[in-house]
Amino acid sequence: FSNVYVEQSISLEKQLNIIQVADLVLPDKETSFEEYTTMELLSVAMLIVISTFALDFIHTDRSIFKIVDLDEAWSFLQVAQGKTLSMKLVRAGRAMNAGVYFVTQNTDDLLDEKLKNNLGLKFAFRSTDLN
C-alpha cells in the first residue's frame, strides 16, 4: 500500500491540494448497500474520506475564496453517499466563500432539484438540454 515515505502530503494550510483518485469501484445507483462488494465498500469509504477533507478545506478562512473541483462528478453523484456529501459541500461552500465545481459530460447527472437549486452558476458547452 505504501513504502511509508511520503514525499508530499495534503494539508489545509497549502493553497493547492490535488487529490487524484483512480480505479474507484463505485456501485451503480440501483445497487442497495447490502449488495455492495468489498471493493465498492472500500471505494465509498475512500469517497467519504476525501469528501471530509474537502469539507474541512471549505471551512477554513472565510476571507479566502476556495475551490473544490469534482471532475467526473457523475460517478460521485450516482452513489447515495456521494449525493449527500455533494449537498454538504455546496451548502458549506455558499456559506464559507467557496465554489464547488461539478464537472460532468451530461446535464442529466445533475437532475436532483435540491442540488440544482443550490448551484450559483452553470456552464454548459455544446448542450441542447434547456434544463
Q: What percent of the chain lies above the pLDDT cut of 70?
A: 86
pTM: 0.73
pLDDT at 62: 92
- With 70 as the cut, is the pLDDT of residue 129 above it? no
96 pLDDT tier (thresholds 50, 70, 90): very high
Q: Cell 476525501, residue?
A: 50
Query: What distances in angstroms separate CA 114 from CA 34, 83, 85, 108, 130, one per listed residue?
Result: 26, 10, 13, 14, 18
CB neighbour list of residue 48: distance below 8 Å, 6 or more residues apart? 81, 85
Query: What distances in angstroms separate CA 49 from CA 44, 105, 108, one per listed residue?
Result: 9, 25, 26
φ, ψ of residue 68 to 5 degrees: the values are -115, 120
pLDDT at 131: 62
Q: How far apart are CA 113 and CA 118, in angstroms?
A: 9
Half-sphere exposure of 83 (CA within 13 A, CB side): 14
pLDDT at 3: 64
pLDDT at 6: 62
